[in-house]
């Protein structure tokens, strides 16, 4: 048990899951970052490029929903990608409030090259679990992520 807290069994159990879950996410993130498969992209920048790569052009708002981030955050991450010429903003003609984010050729080339390498690092990390364990973990995380009805 990784907590020193003295509470009911239910509390100790819940706290233990919570800590292990967060720690797994964090340490996995640290190890993947150290694997340098993202080259000089941040995790957020990679997330945006990957979403555009697999789903096509999206608005900042849609990106924020996908990545669970605020619109203000998306503005900055998109700004930084735009400065590097990896994406471009194209204002929608129908609804002039909307802006579609498109991958540039450079951006598409880059994410197309980096994604498979990064995926291999993820597969490698997951290989400490059997296929069945991975399916169990996925199911439990999905249930927990969804929350109460």
Partner DNA sequence: TATAATTATCTCAACATTAAGATATTAGAC
Partner DNA sequence: GTCTAATATCTTAATGTTGAGATAATTATA
Judged by phi (left if over 0) then psi (alpha if -120 to 50, else beta), residue 103 lies in beta
Q: Does 145 bind DNA (CB under 7 A)?
A: no
Which of 94, 96, 97, 142 is the binder for its own copies (CB under 8 A)? 142
Q: Does 117 bind its own copies (CB under 8 A)?
A: no
- Chain centroid to CA 80: 17
Q: Does 66 bind DNA (CB under 7 A)?
A: no
CB of 109: closest distance to its own copies in angstroms? 17
Q: Does 34 bind its own copies (CB under 8 A)?
A: no
Site for DNA in 84-143 (CB under 7 A): 89, 94-99
**Within 10 Å of residue 101's Cβ, how many Cβ atoms?**
23
Q: Which is nearer to its own copies, 23 or 91 (CB)?
A: 23
Q: Does 36 bind its own copies (CB under 8 A)?
A: no
**Interatomic CA distance for residues 138 and 68, integer angstroms:** 18
Tokens in use for 8? 């009911």
Could you give the 3-state DSSP secondary structure of residue 90?
A: strand
| Contact predicate 81/88, CB 8 Å | no
User: Cα-atom radius of gyration of the chain, to the nearest Å?
Assistant: 19
Q: Does 119 bind its own copies (CB under 8 A)?
A: yes
Q: Does 76 bind DNA (CB under 7 A)?
A: yes
Q: Which is nearer to its own copies, 30 or 76 (CB)?
A: 30
Q: Does 5 bind its own copies (CB under 8 A)?
A: yes
Q: Which residues contact 43 (CB under 8 A, 6 or more apart)?
A: 29, 33
Q: Which is nearer to DNA, 89 or 102 (CB)?
A: 89
Contacts 24+ apart (CB under 8 A), 6-9: none
Residues binding its own copies (CB under 8 A): 3-5, 7, 10-11, 13-18, 20-28, 30-31, 54-55, 68, 115, 119, 122-129, 131, 133-138, 140-148
């Amino acid at each position: 048990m990784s907590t020193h807290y003295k509470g009911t069994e239910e509390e100790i159990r819940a706290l233990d899951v919570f800590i292990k879950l967060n720690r797994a996410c964090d340490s996995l993130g640290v190890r993947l970052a150290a694997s340098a498969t993202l080259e000089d992209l941040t995790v957020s920048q990679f997330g945006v490029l990957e979403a555009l790569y697999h789903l096509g052009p999206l608005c900042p708002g849609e990106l924020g929903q996908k990545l669970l981030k605020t619109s203000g955050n998306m503005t900055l991450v998109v700004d930084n990608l735009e400065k590097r010429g990896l994406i471009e903003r194209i204002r929608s003609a129908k609804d002039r409030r909307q802006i579609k984010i498109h991958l540039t050729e450079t951006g598409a080339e880059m994410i197309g090259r980096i994604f498979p390498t990064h995926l291999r690092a993820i597969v490698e990390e997951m290989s400490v679990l059997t296929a069945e364990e991975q399916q169990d973990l996925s199911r439990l995380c999905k249930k927990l992520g969804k929350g109460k009805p």
